[in-house]
Amino acid sequence: MQNLTKQIIIALILGIIVGLGMNLFLPDLFGPVDTYVFSPIGDIFLRLIQMMVVPIVFVSIVLGTAGLGDPKKLGRIGGKTIGFFLLSTTVALTIAMSLALLVKPGTPGLLDSVEIEEEYQAEETPSVVETLVNIVPTNPIDAMTNGEMLQIIFFSIFIGFALAVLSKKTDKIYHLFEQAFDLVMYLIKIIMYMAPLGAFALIASAVGGVGLEAIQSMFAYFLVVLAALLIHAVITYGSVIKFLAKKSPIWFIKNFAQAISVAFGTASSSATLPVSMTTAQKRLGVRESVSGFVQPVGATINMDGTAIMQGVATVFIAQVYAQSLSLTEMLTVVLIAVLASIGTAGVPGVGLIMLAMVLEQVGLPVEAIGLILGVDRLLDMARTAVNITGDAACALYINETEPDLDEEDDRPSLNSNA
Ligand code: ASP
């Protein structure tokens, strides 16, 4: 394992110890230390990596699409990627709901012993049609300013496609993108030196703020979500890596650990994107054209970890309210949660907003989200790690099963040293 990865993992463990320790033994001190030390340091790190998201997505997708050249290849990768994402999210939900039905983490008695933590206000969620129409930006600069990922992806594919068709005519712009890519990669490398400190601060802040009490009352729910995440990561992704990509899952984990630990610290797939892309390209050997397309799309629309939380939470809430879910309702949950993950942004806590939509569809009370709010920050870390692992597993699978995608570029290559 790389040195930096080890440092980040050690920092995460230290962060958990310090956060928990302060929560238990120095609760009065935690507030000021969090306000003046943990939160600002964590935020600076988060902002630094977030700063690179739009540049890396734009530059990599343009280069990736231009490198693929042929729109047919793009269509094939696109179809395979979306198919993979939909299928793996469905598997994730099936695991989550089956486990929750089997273990029964929720009992009606819970409602008497636990107060609903906070009033939970459901937010407006966009409809699926709206989400699809919104993929086309009216103003690409606006899309970049607002970090509208699907719109940026759409625009970048267009530019990349045009560069491929115009070929030699647009040599200079193509090379400009190549150089911009080197530049972005270099900046990410520098920012990552701060990752151990940033991860420590983020996790100490999160763990210190949650504490044991919230976990104790929701322990069964907490464990079922974690178990389902683990089963999905080990069995589903393990099988994809072993049988479809024909690589060793241990090798995958060792080499992708850096991105996983950053996802854990930040609880944001979108913020982790620059790290997960560089890690997949440099350490897993995924070609830029594949990683540049699959991972940004995945960070936006593929959220298996989030779907798992939603699956377990729905069954849990139904159990707490002594409502049984019919088979049709369970299928509705799967369908809505799969669709919801397409419109969900990869930022902390957004999975809960989408959970409101799922609960509404099957007639469960949305306020019940208040029950699980207290432990959600910690689960968010774990599910985000699963979310980005799924994207990387898909990128590796496509990389290994599409060997003839190699860039057929007839431009004279500039010396690229990324
Ligand atoms: N934090 C998750 C992510 O960025 C989304 C969520 O489940 O809230 O992938």
Residue-wise pLDDT tens digits, 84-109: 999 999 999 999 999 999 999 887 77
The conformation of residue 122, written as its DSSP 8-state character, comes to: P
Please provide the average confidence, as pLDDT, over all residues in the chain: 87
- Residue 416 in domain: no
Of ligand 1's listed atoms, the one at least distance from the Cα of 349 is 8
Q: Which two tokens stand for residue 231?
A: 């089963």
CA dihedral 279, 283, 284, 287 (to 10 degrees): 80
**Ligand 1 pocket residue status of 387, Cβ below 6 Å:** yes
Is 391 close to ligand 1, i.e. is its CB under 6 Å away? no
Indicate the SS3 state at residue 92. Answer: helix
Domain limits at 59?
2-401
Distances from the Cα of 349 to the Cα of 209, 214, 239, 250, angstroms: 15, 17, 29, 30
Token pair listed for 105: 């983490």
Give the tens place of pLDDT for each residue, 332-375. Answer: 999 988 887 776 667 777 888 888 888 988 899 888 888 888 88
- Give the rounded distance of the alpha carbon of 197 from its chain centre: 21
Note whether residue 343 is domain-resident.
yes
Say how many Å lie between the CA of residue 384 and the centre of ligand 1: 5
- CA 404 to ligand 1 center in whole angstroms: 34
CA distance 345 to 335: 18
Q: Kindly state whether residue 323 falls inside one of the protein's structural domains.
A: yes
Q: Is 283 among the domain residues? A: yes
Q: Which ligand 1 atom sits closest to the C-alpha of 350? A: 8
* DSSP character string of 121-165: PPPP---HHHHHHTTS-S-HHHHHHTT-HHHHHHHHHHHHHHHHH
Quick check: is 20 in a domain?
yes
Between the CA of 206 and the centroid of ligand 1 the distance, in Å, is 15
- Token look-up 């870390």 returns 381
Do 296 and 60 touch, CB atoms closer than 8 A?
Answer: yes
The total number of structural domains that make up the chain: 1
How close is the Cα of 343 to the center of ligand 1, in Å? Answer: 12
Question: Is 51 contained in some domain?
Answer: yes
The pLDDT tens digits of the residues spanning 379-411 come to 999 999 999 999 999 999 999 998 776 555 556
| Tokens (6 digits) for 96 | 């989550």
384 CB under 6 A from ligand 1? Answer: yes
Q: How confident is the model at residue 112 (pLDDT cuts 50, 70, 90)?
A: low
| pTM beyond cutoff 0.95 | no
- pLDDT for the residue numbered 262: 94
Examine residue 407 and state whether it is found in any structural domain, yes or no: no
Query: Which ligand 1 atom is the nearest neighbour of the CA of 384?
Result: 9
Domain CATH code at residue 209:
1.10.3860.10
Longest dimension (CA), the chain: 71
Report if residue 414 sits inside a domain: no
Atom of ligand 1 nearest to the CA of 348: 1
The whole-angstrom separation of Cα 7 and Cα 17 is 15
- Residue 284 and residue 396: Cα distance in Å, rounded? 7
